[in-house]
Amino acid sequence: MDYFLTGGTGFIGRFLVEKLLARGGTVHLLVREESLEKIDRLRERCGVDETRIKAVVGDLTKPQLGIDGDVLKSLKGHIRHFFHLAAVYDMGADEESQRAANIDGTHQAIAAAAAMNAGCFHHVSSIAAAGLFKGTFREDMFEEAEKLDHPYLKTKHDSERVVRYECTVPFRIYRPGMVIGHSKTGEMDKVDGPYYFFKMIQKIRSALPQWVPTIGIEGGRLNVVPVDFVVAALDHIAHLDGEDGNCFHLVDPDPYKVGEILNIFCEAGHAPRMAMRVDSRMFGFVPPFIRQSLKNLPPVKRITNAVLDDMGIPPSVLSFVNYPTRFDARETERVLKGSGIEVPRLADYAPVVWDFWERHLDPDLFKDRTLKGTVEGRVCVITGATSGIGLATAQKLADAGAILVIGARKPERLKEVAAELESRGASVHAYQCDFSDMEACDQFVSTVLDNHGQVDVLVNNAGRSIRRSLDLSFDRFHDFERTMQLNYFGSVRLIMGFAPKMLEQRRGHIVNISSIGVLTNAPRFSAYVASKSALDAFSRCAAAEWSDRNVTFTTINMPLVKTPMIAPTKIYDQVPTLTPDEAADMVAQAIIHRPKRIATRLGTFAQVLHALAPKLGEIVMNTGYRMFPDSAAASGSRRGEKPQVSTEQVAFAAIMRGIYW
Q: Which of 89, 256, 528, 572 is catalytic?
A: 528
* Per-residue CA distances from 80 to 92, 195, 235, 415 (Å): 35, 36, 13, 81
Whether 225 contacts 185, CB under 8 Å? no
How many other β-carbons are positioned within 10 Å of the β-carbon of residue 242?
A: 7
Q: Characterize 127-164 residue by residue with b for buried, 16 or more Cβ atoms within 10 angstroms of its Cβ, and e for exposed.
A: bbbbbbbeeebbbeebeebbebebbbbbbbbbbbbbbe
DSSP character at residue 146: B
* Per-residue CA distances from 519 to 208, 515, 546 (Å): 16, 8, 24
Provide the pairing of β-strand 403-408 with 379-383. parallel
Cβ neighbors of 438 (< 8 A, separation 6 or more) are 489, 490, 493
What is the spatial distance between Cα 572 and Cα 574, in angstroms, rounded to a whole number? 5
The full DSSP string for 8-58 is TTSHHHHHHHHHHHHTT-EEEEEE-GGGHHHHHHHHHHHT--TTTEEEEE-
174 a catalytic residue: no
Listed residue (94, 103, 85, 92) closest to 31, CA to CA: 85
* Per-residue CA distances from 108 to 31, 57, 112, 162, 497 (Å): 14, 14, 6, 10, 63
Indicate the residue type of 465.
Answer: S
How many other β-carbons are positioned within 10 Å of the β-carbon of residue 35?
A: 11
Q: Which residues are catalytic?
A: 528
